[in-house]
Structure 1
Amino acid sequence: MLFPIGILSAFVTLVFCAYAEGAPLNEILSDALNATYGKRILGGSDARQGAFPWMASIHINSPYITSVCGGSIVNKQWIITAAHCFGENFQDCEVKAYIGKLIFPETPVGRKCELPIIHPQYNGTHTLNNDVALLKLKKPLKFTERVSSIELVPSWFNTDKPGEPTFADKTCSVLGWGSTGGDTKLSRKLQVLNVQIQPREKCISVTRNSWYPVKRGESKFCAQGVENGDTCKGDSGGPLFCRHNDGIFYLHGIISYGKIICGTKGKPGVYAKIKDLEEWAQNVMASC
């Protein structure tokens, strides 16, 4: 059974509630963040400092929802994340982004963002299709070795469909600050996990009987962690990225939802497909 974040947020009061389970994530965390909450990336390993300089942690506070999601820096003023992180009443929310952090949170200082720009065809928790949002930072970033951007995969690339160039049946990676095992404590260090992108028809088949099946024509794809590693609640909005033949990492997916029991064999996570959403994102960033 699959659940979007809008359902979970009514019951979870701690700040890490962004990845809808099944679902619709320097050294010290606060007592509240150390409290048990829920698992995020399972079976991952510690990320190296500076290896993934585009990773951001998005903190959302409003009268309706308090949550943390992942995000990816696209350029000096824009971050891309999941639309469902903001719930239904995002006009009243305050959003901050924590940038360049390996151990979370390294400092309590975030960068303020403007209100999210949600994809116009995102339909909330009805299907979770087009689950993408853009955040504009109020002040541009200064890029360093630890803070930089990731390229959006272009629309002509076949992320999960047959026909070269494609990453179907190939290995890519995901990032998040989640549990590293079966307990419910958050990981203090950013985790990285290898996942295999499933061919389109297999993704459609294995999600057919779920609450949110992947259908033909939708901007989604599936990826399964190696040895049942998986993303989980709290990882929403984070990146699925792949290294291309030119040696550059490209953002292919945004963590959206998955099985309620994270890491279930044969039940992949589902991701918003950047290749279908790249043109919209580029147009928004150019015009706002």
Structure 2
Amino acid sequence: MPACGWASTVELGGSCTGTLVHPQVVIYAAHCGASYSKIYFGEKYTTPAKTVTPQWCKVYPGGQPGSGNDFAVCKLSTPVNDVPIVPILMGCETSNLQAGKSVTLVGFGNADNGPYGVKRQVTTTINGFQGDEISIGGNGKDTCQGDSGGPAFIKLADGTWRVFGITSYGGACGSGGMYSMMHKGISWFEQQTALDLTPCHNADGTWNPGAGCYNFQTNPGSVNDTWTGGCNAGAPSGAYSQTCGAPYQGGGDPPPVDPPPSDAPCTGCTEYGGTLSGAGDSDQHPNGSYYQSTTSGAHEGYLVGPAGTDFDLYLYKHNGTSWVMVAKAETASTNETIKYNGTAGYYAWLVQSYSGSGAYKFYNKKPN
């Protein structure tokens, strides 16, 4: 496995595998449980390239092998903005799931050539469907113990990749296995995380591309990059996706800005709110998403935290491949302010607790 190959595939504390599908979300299998305090990125579990902490992990009620809903999800305390994400197969894209189609399975499980804890991949084919599950592999090409919860990937006609499968169960290693399908659980995943996990579709599969329906990886398994460099050499497409319809065209006139509340620290700014549970917890804004600025100018952010806490504020900009921090405010004060003059592009704010917990207000004003 080259360095940064299938970078979004993660290890879950010595027992299972998962997939980063959003900077704050890891999807895996319900039968793995929810007792995870650390999630590991890299090629080896024993020497991880990056370690993150989940805010919480949850399993789907009644989710189990054989049900087609072997679903579980972790929401991360801090977004991972420097790992390329392979989007979830959705909508008309699911028509690619046909018997005989080539797919790639990835995980940290046991294998003929070594024990648990090393990320491995195998290319095999789809066998068919059994209810809400999909059967994959066999003839020695399969997942094994420890790969549970890990991803199955498929390449689309435009050359970009999607993740669709959650490794669930099987017989003897090498004989093939059964997989739950992510798109079947997307409504539950989004409900639990309060985040949009499908940049090109609605949760029901309807084509509805947003600004994030763009620049998907064409070579995520053969990156051979460095983790310190952000694993960004996965041959991004550089194009807006149009797998199920017209590509994102940009919005029309933006909605009118609500008048700021009387205590707003800026004129014409928009107020957001949230609650952080303690040190390391964070929220992305606006409302778990990002925004597009079509012109250069000042990006203003004002954080008003609860008394006795130390909340910090960060501004990120997308460089076409990954999110890069462009400004930060990390004083010991309860409140933080950022004024950043930037060029046109996509931006996102992060509010993070250095210490303390409680409700906060965040005000944002972007260039006209």
TM-score band, normalised by the shorter chain?
0.5 to 0.7
Q: Would the alpha carbon gap of residues 169 and 109 (structure 1) be closer, same or farther in structure 2, given more than 3 Å must change?
A: closer
Residue 276 of structure 1: CA displacement?
Answer: 1.6
Q: Would the alpha carbon gap of residues 285 and 192 (structure 1) be closer, same or farther in structure 2, given more than 3 Å must change?
A: same
Name the amino acid aligned to 1:281. Answer: F
Q: What is the aligned counterpart of 2:147 among 231, 235, 247?
A: 235
Return the TM-score normalized by structure 1.
0.61
> Taking every aligned residue pair, what percent have the same amino acid on both sides?
24
Corresponding residue for residue 115 of structure 1: 56
Corresponding residue for residue 79 of structure 1: 26
Name the amino acid aligned to 2:192. Answer: V
Contiguous gaps of at least 5 residues in structure 2: 196-287, 289-368
Distance in 2, matches of 1:138 and 1:150, equals: 20
Deviations 1:198-254 (A, max 9, x none): 122xxx4xxxxxxxxxxx3xx3110014x4221111110110010111222111100
**Greater fraction of residues in helix:** 1
Residue 117 of structure 1: CA displacement?
Answer: 2.4
Q: Would the alpha carbon gap of residues 94 and 71 (structure 1) be closer, same or farther in structure 2, given more than 3 Å must change?
A: closer
Corresponding residue for residue 141 of structure 1: 80
Name the amino acid aligned to 1:77. Answer: Q
Q: How many residues align?
A: 196
Name the amino acid aligned to 2:40. Answer: Y
The answer to whether residue 62 in structure 2 is matched with residue 167 in structure 1 is no
Q: Would the alpha carbon gap of residues 108 and 231 (structure 1) be closer, same or farther in structure 2, given more than 3 Å must change?
A: same
Q: Are the equivalent residues in 1 in contact too, given 2:16–2:108 (CA < 8 A)?
A: no
Q: Are the equivalent residues in 2 in contact too, given 1:155–1:276 (CA < 8 A)?
A: no
Corresponding residue for residue 136 of structure 2: 223
* Root-mean-square deviation over aligned CA pairs: 2.4
Distance in 1, matches of 2:162 and 2:3, equals: 19
Q: Which has the larger radius of gyration?
A: 2
Name the amino acid aligned to 2:37. Answer: V
Corresponding residue for residue 54 of structure 1: 8
**Greater fraction of residues in strand:** 2
Residue 94 of structure 1: CA displacement?
Answer: 3.9
Matches within 5 A, 1:2-81: 47-59=1-13, 67-81=14-28
Return the TM-score normalized by structure 2.
0.49
Q: Are the equivalent residues in 2 in contact too, given 1:173–1:194 (CA < 8 A)?
A: yes
Q: What is the aligned counterpart of 1:130 among 65, 69, 78?
A: 69
Q: Secondary structure at the match of 2:194?
A: helix
Q: Are the equivalent residues in 2 in contact too, given 1:157–1:275 (CA < 8 A)?
A: no
Corresponding residue for residue 156 of structure 2: 244
Q: Are the equivalent residues in 2 in contact too, given 1:155–1:279 (CA < 8 A)?
A: no
Q: Would the alpha carbon gap of residues 155 and 110 (structure 1) be closer, same or farther in structure 2, given more than 3 Å must change?
A: same
Q: Are the equivalent residues in 2 in contact too, given 1:53–1:148 (CA < 8 A)?
A: yes
Distance in 2, matches of 1:74 and 1:169, equals: 26
Distance in 1, matches of 2:45 and 2:136, equals: 26
Deviations 1:183-204 (A, max 9, x none): xx5156421101211122xxx4
Q: Would the alpha carbon gap of residues 188 and 95 (structure 1) be closer, same or farther in structure 2, given more than 3 Å must change?
A: closer
Q: What is the aligned counterpart of 2:123 among 194, 197, 201?
A: 194
Residue 53 of structure 1: CA displacement?
Answer: 1.5
Name the amino acid aligned to 1:192. Answer: Q
Deviations 1:41-87 (A, max 9, x none): xxxxxx2212211111111xxxxxxx52111111111111111101x
Contiguous gaps of at least 5 residues in structure 1: 1-46, 60-66, 159-163, 205-215
Q: Would the alpha carbon gap of residues 141 and 262 (structure 1) be closer, same or farther in structure 2, given more than 3 Å must change?
A: same
Q: Would the alpha carbon gap of residues 279 and 230 (structure 1) be closer, same or farther in structure 2, given more than 3 Å must change?
A: same
Q: Secondary structure at the match of 1:228?
A: coil
Distance in 2, matches of 1:199 and 1:94, equals: 33
Corresponding residue for residue 307 of structure 2: none
Corresponding residue for residue 150 of structure 1: 86
Deviations 1:77-111 (A, max 9, x none): 1111111101xxx4xx3421002x11332249731
Q: Secondary structure at the match of 2:84?
A: coil
Distance in 1, matches of 2:4 and 2:48, equals: 17
Q: What is the aligned counterpart of 2:183 among 270, 275, 280?
A: 275
Corresponding residue for residue 97 of structure 1: 39
Residue 274 of structure 1: CA displacement?
Answer: 1.7
Name the amino acid aligned to 2:126. Answer: I
